[in-house]
Amino acid sequence: MNLRTAEEEPTAQEIHIPADIEWQMLDKSKFFFLGAALFSGVSATLYPAVVLKTRQQVAQSHVPCVRTAIWIMRHEGIRGLYRGFGTSLTGTIPARALYMTALEVTKSNVGKAATRLGFPEPTAAAVANAVAGLSAAMAAQVVWTPVDVISQRLMVQGNGCVGGGGGVQSAFSALPCKYINGVDAFRKILNTDGVRGLYRGFGLSILTYAPSNAVWWASYSVAQRLVWGGMGCFLRKKEEERLENGVITVSNNTSDINDGLRPDAKTVMVVQGLSAAMAGGFSALITMPLDTIKTRLQVLDGDDNGRKGPSLGQTVRNLVREGGWMACYRGLGPRWASMSMSATTMITTYEFLKRMSTKNQQELTS
């Protein structure tokens, strides 16, 4: 998602960003194969933050993130930070493929439609990004919700298997060991609650991730323009200072004067990463309460006497009773960090993936 400043009104220090890579320009087989490998690595790196966030959200009292991490490492080792990762990774690959396809196809079509309707390029880009993020999240949740339900239950059950003490451990003691692995969890949930059990919180997942993605992609588009605009202002000030000090740089290349500035690939990547982090933090803050409620709905099961798990209303009341409305923001630190880091790594990886998967000139013209 790049800005096409070359199409806007020229300025003294116009910054030309490389043109966006459209869906039809991609080699699809390379795109999906490389995407599966790259995003598997990203998921493995960020998974511990997701585990910490999930455990904080289901805890019955507030426990600092650092204490939670120390307790897990002490009692469960590094494996505790990767509980459910196999299940999550298995589902993430098809979910990512759905997400990327819906994102690129929608963005390309909506962007062209918005431009034909007469929207300015910045507005058309923001609208296309928002609608693409919305449709991509809705498509991917068909796969992601069952994967979330299973992997989150595996994430939180390990702490209930260790006997003894209080403190952090007692905050999690209500969640006993019930599943051996992802396959066992899938079978037991299906036998107990049917397909509906695998889609617990599906509506809230849509309400959480669809607006979150729309906000993120729109914010990312706006953030990029702000960052590039700030760089343009900085460069103009530097130029004015050089002129005031009598330092004048003369270029023999007229294209340098007419074409403006063309940032290299590293600069573009830095701007994309910074914009993604800004958008990720903003999106995490807005959608945190819905994510906490969704996680509790998906994780907290019924008891052995056949009673069903808590309803949406009961989940909200329990949260408020435990810690007031601020209880809805438990796990905000890990989630904010996870979403910001995920956004930065995701967008830089994603843009790198698109560059790697671009068809050569012969394939494009054939």
pLDDT greater than 80 at residue 206: yes
Separation between Cα atoms, residue 111 and residue 131, nearest integer Å: 10
- pLDDT tens readout for residues 124-139: 888 898 899 889 988 8
pTM: 0.65
- pLDDT tens readout for residues 83-101: 889 888 888 888 888 888 8
Terminal alpha carbon distance of the chain? 25
Considering the chain, what percentage of its residues have pLDDT values greater than 90? 2
Contacts of 30 (CB under 8 A, 6+ apart): 356, 357
List the alpha helices (DSSP H) in the chain: 28-58, 65-75, 85-116, 121-157, 168-172, 182-193, 195-198, 202-244, 254-259, 265-299, 312-323, 332-356, 361-365
Q: What is the rounded radius of gyration, in angstroms, for the C-alpha atoms of the chain?
A: 24
Residue 193: DSSP 8-state: H
Residue 180: DSSP 8-state: S
Separation between Cα atoms, residue 247 and residue 234, nearest integer Å: 17
pLDDT greater than 50 at residue 8: no
- pLDDT tens readout for residues 217-272: 888 888 888 888 887 777 777 777 777 776 555 444 444 434 456 677 778 888 88
Tokens of 66: 């650092």
pLDDT greater than 80 at residue 158: no
